[in-house]
Structure 1
Amino acid sequence: MEKHRHFIIHKPFGFISQFVNNKTRKKRLLGELHQFPEGTMAVGRLDAKSEGLLFLTTDGKLSDTICSSKVSKEYYVQLNGEITTEAVAELESGVEIGFEGKRYVTKPCSAKILLEAPEFSERSKKIRDDRHGKTSWVSITINEGKFRQVRKMTAAVGFPTLRLVRVRVGNVQLENMEIGAVEEVTEFKVF
């Protein structure tokens, strides 16, 4: 029986969560960061503008488990403007977003204002600074993963996302991984 291999990566801004680009646009691929074994797949995608913790595995069953609603995903999100407690309460109770051409109400989640900006390395593409208006940070933890869901949620309550970093999946934390770092892990426990 073939032994599956598992990796965690701190996905940088500008990379897509795949190994093949079928579009004509030039996108940076995960294979540029590390030589992964054949059959490796990204588990739960992060779009090109998003950063943070990404799992990679050769085990399809594990991929399905991590993508399920059983496993929570936490994001630190920098927002355009100073988010209000009312907007955080809206996020927590569920907001209406567009998904696959239809209106969708997100499931209840956990959201809280971060009083201090998290310490992340500077992003390769600069984010506007406070001269263009205040920004704020929130933590959002969801158990679902619709297409660009967190970005759509913050926009729905009037605070568009400027930077999005996934910091936790299940009980696995991003912690102090450098941007672009890849670690092979032998045990992959997300609960």
Structure 2
Amino acid sequence: MTKEFKYIIFHKPYGVLSQFTQESPQHITLKDYIDVPDVYPVGRLDWDSEGLMLLTNNGPLQHRLSNPRFGHQRTYWVQVERIPDPEAINKLCTGVEIQNYRTRPAQIRLFLEEPTVSERNPPIRVRKNIPTAWLEMTLTEGKNRQVRRMTAALGFPTLRLIRISIAHLQLKGLQPGEWRNLTQSEIKDLEKSRI
């Protein structure tokens, strides 16, 4: 009997661990939102990050998406303290030194207007005398807390981080805490892609 693969995308809210196992009673996990058996997250988002997660029971695909060797694109909307100048944007694009490692080149865009995002609970801390800005950052690697470390290294601490896409998969249409099965065309694109 051939195993039927399952593919789910989930909009992970702030404060949720990217796992099904609860480490302590106060932790909120994926099991509080997703009641589909035998699916596992591909990669992770830190508990204080939000956005798109892919879950599947397709082991080879999970390996390919998690392995840094295959370098697929992940795009984030990142709210930072202060407004990055062109020099800072260029450094983020060309690579930043973090923990004895130089990040790969990335695509960075400074939003001219704040993007439309859902409210976060709890809201970010706001300092009246420090402006904030939103960046769109597309990376092809996923080091631990990489986006936060990149912006902090240049003096622009991350206040909020939302992953909006993994390769061709988009977060559009999902509110925090919602999930859906991938469409047949999304599954075909996922299986035939080299990500």
The answer to whether TM tops 0.5 is yes
Per the alignment, residue 97 of structure 2 pairs with 96
Which residue matches 1:61? 60
CA RMSD of aligned residues (A): 1.5
Alignment of 1:124 with 2:121, yes or no, is: yes
Instruction: Tell me the residue number matched to 1:14.
Output: 15
**SS at the partner of 2:72?**
coil
CA offsets per residue over residues 138-182 of structure 1, 9 Å max, x none?
A: 011001000000000000111010000000110111112111111
**CA positional deviation for 1:130:** 5.5
Residue 168 of structure 1 aligns to which amino acid in structure 2? S
Give 1:65 deviation, angstroms: 2.2
1:86 shift after superposition: 0.7
Q: Distance in 2 between matches of 1:65 and 1:21?
A: 26
* Structure 1 residue ranges (4+ consecutive) displaced by more than 4 angstroms after TM superposition: none
- Unpaired runs of 5+ residues, structure 2, are none
Q: Report if aligned partners of 1:65, 1:71 keep a CA contact under 8 Å in 2.
A: no
Mapped to 2, the partners of 1:89 and 1:74 lie a distance apart of 17
Q: Secondary structure at the match of 2:125?
A: coil
Q: Distance in 2 between matches of 1:77 and 1:145?
A: 15
Q: Deviations over 1:41-79 (max 9, x none)?
A: 111200010000100001111112223434100000000
Moved more, 112-121 or 181-190: 181-190
Give the match for residue 88 of structure 2.
87
Instruction: Determine the C-alpha separation between the residues in 1 that align with 2:149 and 2:25.
Output: 24
By percentage of residues, which structure has more helix?
Answer: 2
Structure 1 unmatched ranges of 5 or more = none
Deviations 1:76-117 (A, max 9, x none): 00001111111110011111112xxxx111111111101111
State the identity as a percent. 38
Distance 2:63 2:104 in 1: 19
Q: Give the corresponding residue for 2:33.
A: 33
Report the alpha carbon displacement of residue 37 of structure 1 after superposing the two structures with TM: 1.2
1:152 aligns with 2:153: no
Match of 2:170 in 1: 173
* 1:26 to partner: Cα distance: 2.8
Equivalent position of 1:72 in the other structure: 73
SS in structure 1 of the partner of residue 41 of structure 2: strand
What is the distance in 2 between the residues matched to 1:50 and 1:170? 18
- Which amino acid is 2:92 matched to? L
Describe the SS at the equivalent of 2:9. strand
SS of corresponding position for 1:112? strand
How far off its partner does 1:15 sit?
0.2
Assess if the C-alpha contact under 8 Å between 1:72 and 1:142 holds in 2.
yes
Q: 2:94 and 2:10 mapped to 1: Cα distance?
A: 31
The structure where strand makes up a greater share of residues is: 1
SS in structure 1 of the partner of residue 147 of structure 2: helix
- Partners of 2:174 and 2:40 in 1: how far apart? 20
